[in-house]
Protein backbone atom coordinates (compact mmCIF):
# COMPACT_ATOMS: atom_id res chain seq x y z
CA UNK A 1 0.00 0.00 0.00
CA UNK A 2 1.52 3.27 -1.14
CA UNK A 3 1.57 6.20 1.26
CA UNK A 4 2.45 9.86 0.92
CA UNK A 5 6.27 10.09 0.80
CA UNK A 6 7.76 11.91 3.80
CA UNK A 7 8.96 15.45 3.22
CA UNK A 8 12.09 17.10 4.54
CA UNK A 9 11.83 17.44 8.31
CA UNK A 10 9.38 14.54 8.70
CA UNK A 11 11.94 11.81 9.41
CA UNK A 12 13.81 11.20 12.66
CA UNK A 13 17.17 9.51 12.02
CA UNK A 14 18.84 7.50 14.78
CA UNK A 15 22.28 5.95 14.23
CA UNK A 16 24.70 3.89 16.28
CA UNK A 17 28.31 4.96 16.86
CA UNK A 18 29.98 2.85 14.17
CA UNK A 19 31.79 4.88 11.47
CA UNK A 20 29.68 3.38 8.66
CA UNK A 21 26.45 4.32 10.42
CA UNK A 22 27.68 7.82 11.27
CA UNK A 23 28.71 8.40 7.65
CA UNK A 24 25.28 7.35 6.39
CA UNK A 25 23.60 9.43 9.10
CA UNK A 26 25.44 12.57 7.95
CA UNK A 27 24.46 12.00 4.31
CA UNK A 28 20.82 11.38 5.17
CA UNK A 29 20.41 14.31 7.56
CA UNK A 30 22.15 16.67 5.12
CA UNK A 31 19.41 15.90 2.58
CA UNK A 32 16.34 15.40 4.76
CA UNK A 33 17.11 17.18 8.03
CA UNK A 34 16.42 15.43 11.30
CA UNK A 35 13.07 15.71 13.08
CA UNK A 36 12.51 14.85 16.72
CA UNK A 37 10.89 11.47 17.36
CA UNK A 38 7.79 13.19 18.73
CA UNK A 39 7.33 15.36 15.59
CA UNK A 40 8.41 12.87 12.90
CA UNK A 41 6.10 10.82 10.70
CA UNK A 42 8.72 8.11 10.36
CA UNK A 43 11.77 6.93 12.28
CA UNK A 44 14.81 5.62 10.40
CA UNK A 45 17.25 3.42 12.33
CA UNK A 46 20.78 3.44 10.88
CA UNK A 47 23.02 0.57 11.97
CA UNK A 48 22.45 -3.13 12.52
CA UNK A 49 19.75 -5.32 14.03
CA UNK A 50 20.85 -4.33 17.55
CA UNK A 51 20.22 -0.69 16.71
CA UNK A 52 16.82 -1.58 15.29
CA UNK A 53 15.82 -3.42 18.47
CA UNK A 54 16.80 -0.43 20.62
CA UNK A 55 14.95 2.00 18.36
CA UNK A 56 11.84 -0.18 18.32
CA UNK A 57 11.79 -0.30 22.11
CA UNK A 58 12.20 3.47 22.35
CA UNK A 59 9.59 4.05 19.62
CA UNK A 60 6.88 2.68 21.90
CA UNK A 61 6.93 6.12 23.56
CA UNK A 62 6.09 7.72 20.20
CA UNK A 63 4.49 4.97 18.06
CA UNK A 64 5.76 5.63 14.54
CA UNK A 65 6.67 3.31 11.65
CA UNK A 66 10.38 2.40 11.76
CA UNK A 67 12.48 1.86 8.62
CA UNK A 68 15.94 0.36 9.07
CA UNK A 69 19.08 1.04 7.02
CA UNK A 70 21.76 -1.60 7.34
CA UNK A 71 25.25 -0.47 8.27
CA UNK A 72 25.98 -3.57 10.35
CA UNK A 73 26.52 -7.23 9.52
CA UNK A 74 23.47 -9.48 9.09
CA UNK A 75 20.81 -6.77 9.08
CA UNK A 76 17.84 -9.17 8.99
CA UNK A 77 15.50 -6.38 10.10
CA UNK A 78 17.13 -3.73 7.91
CA UNK A 79 17.13 -2.45 4.32
CA UNK A 80 20.14 -1.54 2.14
CA UNK A 81 21.22 2.09 2.08
CA UNK A 82 20.77 2.52 -1.67
CA UNK A 83 20.55 5.99 -3.18
CA UNK A 84 19.91 8.59 -0.50
CA UNK A 85 17.52 10.66 -2.63
CA UNK A 86 15.25 7.62 -3.19
CA UNK A 87 14.52 7.09 0.52
CA UNK A 88 11.12 8.90 0.62
CA UNK A 89 9.76 6.80 -2.25
CA UNK A 90 11.07 3.60 -0.70
CA UNK A 91 9.34 4.45 2.57
CA UNK A 92 6.11 5.34 0.75
CA UNK A 93 6.05 1.97 -1.05
CA UNK A 94 7.34 -0.13 1.85
CA UNK A 95 5.73 -3.31 3.13
CA UNK A 96 4.63 -3.03 6.72
CA UNK A 97 4.83 -5.60 9.53
CA UNK A 98 3.05 -5.01 12.84
CA UNK A 99 4.52 -6.88 15.81
CA UNK A 100 3.91 -7.08 19.55
CA UNK A 101 6.71 -7.21 22.11
CA UNK A 102 7.22 -9.79 24.84
CA UNK A 103 7.08 -8.34 28.32
CA UNK A 104 9.61 -9.75 30.82
CA UNK A 105 9.21 -9.47 34.58
CA UNK A 106 12.33 -10.91 36.16
CA UNK A 107 12.73 -11.30 39.92
CA UNK A 108 16.30 -11.40 41.23
CA UNK A 109 17.70 -13.05 44.39
CA UNK A 110 17.14 -9.84 46.37
CA UNK A 111 13.45 -9.79 45.46
CA UNK A 112 13.75 -6.87 43.04
CA UNK A 113 11.49 -7.05 39.97
CA UNK A 114 12.93 -5.84 36.66
CA UNK A 115 10.73 -5.19 33.61
CA UNK A 116 11.87 -5.06 29.98
CA UNK A 117 10.42 -5.50 26.51
CA UNK A 118 11.74 -7.91 23.88
CA UNK A 119 11.05 -7.85 20.15
CA UNK A 120 12.96 -11.08 19.43
CA UNK A 121 13.16 -13.26 22.52
CA UNK A 122 13.48 -13.63 26.26
CA UNK A 123 16.24 -16.04 27.28
CA UNK A 124 17.64 -17.56 30.46
CA UNK A 125 21.32 -18.55 30.46
CA UNK A 126 23.48 -20.15 33.13
CA UNK A 127 26.05 -17.81 34.70
CA UNK A 128 28.47 -20.43 36.03
CA UNK A 129 30.07 -23.71 34.97
CA UNK A 130 27.13 -25.51 36.58
CA UNK A 131 24.21 -26.49 34.38
CA UNK A 132 20.99 -24.58 34.92
CA UNK A 133 17.98 -26.34 36.36
CA UNK A 134 14.76 -24.65 35.36
CA UNK A 135 11.09 -25.51 35.73
CA UNK A 136 8.58 -24.22 33.19
CA UNK A 137 4.98 -23.18 33.81
CA UNK A 138 2.49 -22.36 31.05
CA UNK A 139 -0.68 -20.52 32.05
CA UNK A 140 -0.08 -21.38 35.70
CA UNK A 141 0.42 -25.12 35.14
CA UNK A 142 3.80 -26.80 35.47
CA UNK A 143 4.62 -28.37 32.13
CA UNK A 144 8.23 -29.32 32.87
CA UNK A 145 9.35 -30.00 36.42
CA UNK A 146 13.04 -29.77 35.64
CA UNK A 147 14.98 -28.86 32.50
CA UNK A 148 18.74 -29.40 32.90
CA UNK A 149 20.39 -27.20 30.29
CA UNK A 150 22.59 -24.25 29.41
CA UNK A 151 19.42 -22.20 29.12
CA UNK A 152 16.01 -21.78 27.51
CA UNK A 153 14.34 -19.08 25.44
CA UNK A 154 10.90 -17.90 24.40
CA UNK A 155 10.74 -16.35 20.93
CA UNK A 156 8.26 -14.25 18.99
CA UNK A 157 7.64 -14.97 15.29
CA UNK A 158 9.76 -11.92 14.42
CA UNK A 159 12.64 -13.29 16.48
CA UNK A 160 12.32 -16.91 15.43
CA UNK A 161 15.09 -16.56 12.83
CA UNK A 162 17.52 -15.03 15.34
CA UNK A 163 18.86 -16.71 18.51
CA UNK A 164 15.96 -19.18 18.40
CA UNK A 165 17.06 -20.54 15.03
CA UNK A 166 20.68 -20.81 16.20
CA UNK A 167 19.40 -22.95 19.10
CA UNK A 168 17.62 -25.20 16.54
CA UNK A 169 14.20 -23.78 17.29
CA UNK A 170 11.43 -23.58 14.64
CA UNK A 171 11.00 -20.69 12.23
CA UNK A 172 7.55 -19.13 12.68
CA UNK A 173 5.63 -17.22 9.99
CA UNK A 174 5.28 -13.59 11.01
CA UNK A 175 1.47 -13.87 11.25
CA UNK A 176 1.53 -17.11 13.25
CA UNK A 177 -0.28 -16.80 16.58
CA UNK A 178 2.49 -18.82 18.19
CA UNK A 179 5.53 -18.50 20.41
CA UNK A 180 8.55 -20.82 20.22
CA UNK A 181 9.82 -22.31 23.48
CA UNK A 182 13.32 -23.63 22.77
CA UNK A 183 15.93 -25.25 25.04
CA UNK A 184 19.60 -24.28 24.77
CA UNK A 185 21.87 -27.34 24.93
CA UNK A 186 19.39 -29.49 26.86
CA UNK A 187 21.00 -32.32 28.87
CA UNK A 188 17.81 -33.72 30.44
CA UNK A 189 15.30 -34.44 28.99
CA UNK A 190 17.91 -35.15 26.29
CA UNK A 191 15.48 -35.48 23.41
CA UNK A 192 13.26 -32.52 24.27
CA UNK A 193 13.35 -30.04 21.38
CA UNK A 194 10.96 -27.45 22.78
CA UNK A 195 7.33 -26.57 22.16
CA UNK A 196 5.03 -24.30 20.21
CA UNK A 197 2.79 -22.25 22.46
CA UNK A 198 -0.29 -20.07 21.83
CA UNK A 199 0.54 -16.43 21.26
CA UNK A 200 -1.28 -15.37 24.44
CA UNK A 201 0.37 -18.01 26.66
CA UNK A 202 1.83 -16.82 29.96
CA UNK A 203 5.16 -18.53 30.56
CA UNK A 204 7.01 -18.56 33.87
CA UNK A 205 10.52 -19.91 34.37
CA UNK A 206 11.67 -20.84 37.89
CA UNK A 207 15.41 -21.20 38.51
CA UNK A 208 16.08 -24.12 40.84
CA UNK A 209 18.91 -23.71 43.36
CA UNK A 210 19.63 -20.14 42.16
CA UNK A 211 22.47 -19.59 44.66
CA UNK A 212 24.51 -22.48 43.28
CA UNK A 213 23.13 -22.61 39.72
CA UNK A 214 22.69 -18.92 38.99
CA UNK A 215 21.11 -17.68 35.76
CA UNK A 216 20.78 -14.41 33.88
CA UNK A 217 17.64 -13.38 32.01
CA UNK A 218 17.83 -11.29 28.85
CA UNK A 219 15.09 -9.50 26.92
CA UNK A 220 16.84 -9.00 23.57
CA UNK A 221 19.87 -7.08 24.86
CA UNK A 222 18.60 -6.04 28.30
CA UNK A 223 20.13 -8.37 30.90
CA UNK A 224 19.13 -9.08 34.50
CA UNK A 225 21.55 -11.25 36.49
CA UNK A 226 20.92 -13.69 39.35
CA UNK A 227 17.25 -14.24 38.60
CA UNK A 228 14.99 -16.63 40.48
CA UNK A 229 11.80 -16.26 38.42
CA UNK A 230 11.03 -14.86 34.97
CA UNK A 231 7.46 -14.22 33.80
CA UNK A 232 6.83 -13.69 30.05
CA UNK A 233 3.72 -12.48 28.22
CA UNK A 234 2.94 -10.89 24.87
CA UNK A 235 1.98 -7.23 25.29
CA UNK A 236 -0.91 -6.93 22.84
CA UNK A 237 -1.62 -3.30 23.70
CA UNK A 238 1.78 -2.27 22.36
CA UNK A 239 2.37 -2.43 18.61
CA UNK A 240 5.48 -1.64 16.60
CA UNK A 241 5.52 -1.08 12.86
CA UNK A 242 8.51 -2.17 10.79
CA UNK A 243 8.93 -1.03 7.19
CA UNK A 244 10.70 -3.08 4.52
CA UNK A 245 11.41 -2.31 0.88
CA UNK A 246 8.51 -3.52 -1.26
CA UNK A 247 8.72 -7.24 -1.97
CA UNK A 248 11.22 -7.90 0.83
CA UNK A 249 8.92 -7.78 3.85
CA UNK A 250 9.40 -9.74 7.04
CA UNK A 251 7.09 -12.55 5.87
CA UNK A 252 9.17 -12.94 2.68
CA UNK A 253 12.44 -12.86 4.62
CA UNK A 254 11.27 -15.58 6.98
CA UNK A 255 10.26 -17.75 4.00
CA UNK A 256 13.63 -17.23 2.34
CA UNK A 257 15.44 -18.18 5.53
CA UNK A 258 13.88 -21.65 5.31
CA UNK A 259 14.92 -22.36 1.74
CA UNK A 260 18.28 -20.63 1.29
CA UNK A 261 21.65 -21.98 2.41
**Burial environment of residue 225 by CB neighbours within 10 A (0 to 12, 13 to 18, 19 or more):** middle
Q: How far is CA 138 from CA 7, 49, 132, in A?
A: 47, 30, 19
**Residue among 11, 212, 234 nearest 122 (CA):** 234
The catalytic residue among 30, 49, 200, 211 is 49
**Burial environment of residue 140 by CB neighbours within 10 A (0 to 12, 13 to 18, 19 or more):** exposed
Coil, helix or strand at residue 39: coil
- Residue 261: active-site member: no
**Distance between CA atoms of 202 and 147, rounded to whole angstroms?**
18
Binding residues for NAD(+): 49-50, 120-121, 150, 158, 161-166
Active site residues: 49
Amino acid sequence: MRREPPRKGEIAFIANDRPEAQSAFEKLTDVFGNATEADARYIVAVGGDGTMLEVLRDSMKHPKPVYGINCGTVGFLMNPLGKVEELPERIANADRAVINPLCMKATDRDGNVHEAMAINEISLIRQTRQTARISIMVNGETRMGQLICDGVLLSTPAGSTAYNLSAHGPILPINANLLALTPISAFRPRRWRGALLPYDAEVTFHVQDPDFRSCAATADNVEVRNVTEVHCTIERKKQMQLLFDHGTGLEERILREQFED
